[in-house]
């Protein structure tokens, strides 16, 4: 391979309940295939054993479609990147084993990717924020404020000490009788509701830390009390409950993000992760941009939720930096930032 040959990365994401494969050529996404696992809906949350099994069923056809959609052959692939951590261990193992096997069979370099770092770098698929860049990563498993000094130079300034923001949306949705994942449904009802109708407490945490277990408990007690008076309370007030909960969660997220932007004097600010699809959060970001002179970045929807394109873009920067791994690499459910 010469310096002018294209870098064509096959990227694999399998950390939770989406099986995804992408082809990224010289930093450009040629394809991004995602198979969502419907099997978890009836259980009200992701069932790890079922997720691993579904990844096993999906991984080969998903990679096949990603290669075909990209209009390339597997012989053109020059490296393989995969999500090494964090995530559900059984799910990670499927992606890692596939990536290792593919790399071994075709004698290709292997790149291990941190899922949360990839959520941040999803911003660089379609746009080019300047450094330093501040990113609020909000998903079903994480809530973090990340200071991004360069593509691979990131620092977590603060994160949740308990539930993630997406988890809070999903748990409230479950209390309201909505199916998993409830976040998008809460968002939909919220758009018709009054966000100031019900008051829920905002947790006061130190520095850039978050806590979402308090709002979950207060919604639970609130619903229990109201249902004693009117068993149909939730159904009758769905829009206003969802709007009020969403308003509180978004305010908690934005308060910390504004604090970080102010204290670090950063105006390049973005949101990433599944919850960045939330309409209330997107509006709050646009408003904050106008108010504080931020340049606001929100990835395209398919790059907000779990996807392999973000693994591929991260893999590309690791490739350029010569950050490869050997076949002894193992996935890890938890991981330190690197
Ligand atoms: O990043 P992601 O796809 O997977 C994880 O790594 O967790 O995020 C999924 C989370 C779920 O909790 C889901 O309910 C939430 O993102 N979510 C939303 C919305 N769309 C997805 N939460 C609130 N409003 C939305 N529109
Ligand atoms: Zn994620």
All structural domains of the chain, each given as residue ranges with its CATH number in brackets, are 8-121+307-320 (3.30.420.40), 128-302 (3.30.420.40)
Residue 57 neighbours by CB under 8 Å, 6+ apart: none
Q: What is the mean pLDDT of residues 59-70?
A: 98
How many angstroms does the Cα of residue 125 sit away from the middle of ligand 1?
A: 20
pLDDT of residue 82: 98
Closest CA to ligand 1's atom 24 = 278
pLDDT on residue 3: 66
pLDDT for the residue numbered 26:
98
- Cβ–ligand 1 distance for 84 under 6 Å, the answer no
Select the more confidently predicted residue: 180 or 214. Answer: 214
Q: How far apart are CA 326 and CA 108, in angstroms?
A: 10
What pLDDT was estimated at residue 2? 63
Residue bearing the CA closest to ligand 1, atom 3: 305
| Encoded tokens for 93 | 């193992």
Q: Is the pLDDT of residue 278 over 70?
A: yes
pLDDT tens profile 125-143: 999 999 999 999 999 888 9
For the residues 218-223, what does the mean pLDDT come to? 97
How do 268-272 and 133-138 pair as beta strands? parallel
- The string of pLDDT tens digits covering residues 10-60 is 999 999 888 999 999 999 999 999 988 887 777 777 888 898 999 999 999
Query: Furthest-apart CA pair in the chain: how many Å?
Result: 74
Q: Residues lining ligand 2 (ion), CB within 5 A? A: 139, 306
Q: Pick the ligand that lies closest to the CA of residue 178.
A: 1
Specify the pLDDT at position 42.
76
Residue 56: CB atoms within 10 Å: 17
Query: If you take atom 8 of ligand 1, which residue's CA is the nearest one?
Result: 274
Which tens digits make up the pLDDT trace of 84-125? 999 999 999 999 999 999 999 999 999 999 999 999 999 999
Closest ligand relative to 168 C-alpha: 1
Probe ligand 1: pick from 17, 139, 335, max atoms within 8 Å of CB? 139
Q: Please determine, for residue 338, whether its predicted confidence score (pLDDT) is greater than 60.
A: no
pLDDT digits (tens, 9 = 90+) for 306-315: 999 999 999 9
Q: How far is the CA of 88 from the centre of ligand 2 (A)?
A: 11
Answer whether 16 contacts ligand 1 (Cβ < 6 A). Answer: yes
User: With the CA atoms of 242, 293, 146 and 23 taken in that order, what torsion angle do they form, in degrees rounded to the nearest 10?
Assistant: 90
Distance CA 30, CA 10 (A): 10
Centre of ligand 1 to C-alpha 183, Å, is 6
Mean local confidence (pLDDT), 175-203? 95
- Mean pLDDT along residues 258-270: 98
Q: What is the mean pLDDT of the chain?
A: 95
How high is the pLDDT of residue 16? 87
Whether the per-residue pLDDT at 336 is higher than 70: the answer is no
* 280 touches ligand 1 (CB under 6 Å): no
Q: 0.75 cut: is pTM over it?
A: yes
Cα–Cα dist 119/270, whole Å: 11
Q: Of the ligands numbered here, which is closest to the C-alpha atom of 16?
A: 1
């Amino acid at each position: 391979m010469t310096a002018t040959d294209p870098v064509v990365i096959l990227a694999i994401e399998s950390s939770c309940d989406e099986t995804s494969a992408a082809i990224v050529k010289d930093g450009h996404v040629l394809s991004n295939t995602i198979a969502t696992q419907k099997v978890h809906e009836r259980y009200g949350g992701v069932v790890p054993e079922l997720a691993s099994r579904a990844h096993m069923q999906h991984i080969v056809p998903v990679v096949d479609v990603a290669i075909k959609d990209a209009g390339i052959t597997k012989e053109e692939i020059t490296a393989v990147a995969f999500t090494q951590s964090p995530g559900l261990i059984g799910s990670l193992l499927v992606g890692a084993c596939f990536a290792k096997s593919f790399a071994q069979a075709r004698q290709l370099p292997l790149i291990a990717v941190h899922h949360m770092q990839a959520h941040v770098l999803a911003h660089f698929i379609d746009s080019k924020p300047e450094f330093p860049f501040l990113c609020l990563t909000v998903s079903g498993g994480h809530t973090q404020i990340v200071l991004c000094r360069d593509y691979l130079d990131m620092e977590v300034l603060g994160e949740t000490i308990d539930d993630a923001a997406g988890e809070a949306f999903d748990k409230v949705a479950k209390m309201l009788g909505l199916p998993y994942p409830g976040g998008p449904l809460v968002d939909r009802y919220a758009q018709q509701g009054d966000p100031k109708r019900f008051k829920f407490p905002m947790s006061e945490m130190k520095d850039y830390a978050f806590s979402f277990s308090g709002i979950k408990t207060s919604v639970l007690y609130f619903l229990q009390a109201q249902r004693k008076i009117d068993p149909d309370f939730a159904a009758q007030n769905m829009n206003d409950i969802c709007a009020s909960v969403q308003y509180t969660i978004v305010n908690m997220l934005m308060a910390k993000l504004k604090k970080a932007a102010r204290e670090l004097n950063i105006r390049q600010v973005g949101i990433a992760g599944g919850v960045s699809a939330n309409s209330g959060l997107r509006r709050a970001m646009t408003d904050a941009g106008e108010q504080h002179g931020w340049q606001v970045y929100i990835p395209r929807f398919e790059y907000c939720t779990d996807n392999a394109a973000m693994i591929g873009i991260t893999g590309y920067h690791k490739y350029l930096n010569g950050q490869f791994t050997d076949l002894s690499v193992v996935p890890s459910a938890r991981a330190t930032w690197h």
